[in-house]
Amino acid sequence: MKKINIQLKMFMKFEKYLPPDSVDGKAMIVLEEGKTLEDLINILGIPIDEPRIVVINGISHGVANASVLAEGDIVAFFAPVGGG
């Protein structure tokens, strides 16, 4: 199966889920073509119920997990921020 390269950017509490070779909260990961955001979350070991905001190529996907990833995607994980 064809492989794709995805760039990860993890912020705050999500940095702990990055691969060991990551630098400054960023890493490249190779996935099989057709993998979804949910697959990536499982591969990284992020609990599926962990509150998060996901941005793919600058577009917020909120908590949706069904997005199919593509070559060159930049996927960023943020913790939700609350305030008052």
Residue 38, in any domain of the structure: yes
66 occurs within a structural domain: yes
pLDDT for 21 equals: 84
Domain with 44, as residue range(s), is 3-78
61 or 70: which carries more pLDDT confidence? Answer: 70
In the DSSP assignment, the letter for residue 38 is H
- Domain annotation covers residue 83: no
Domains contained in the chain, number: 1
55 found inside a domain:
yes
Q: Give per-residue pLDDT as tens, 45-62.
A: 999 888 888 999 998 876
**Is residue 84 included in any domain, yes or no?**
no
Q: How far apart, in Å, are the Cα atoms of 40 and each of 54, 60, 81, 83, 84?
A: 12, 16, 23, 29, 33
CATH at 38: 3.10.20.30
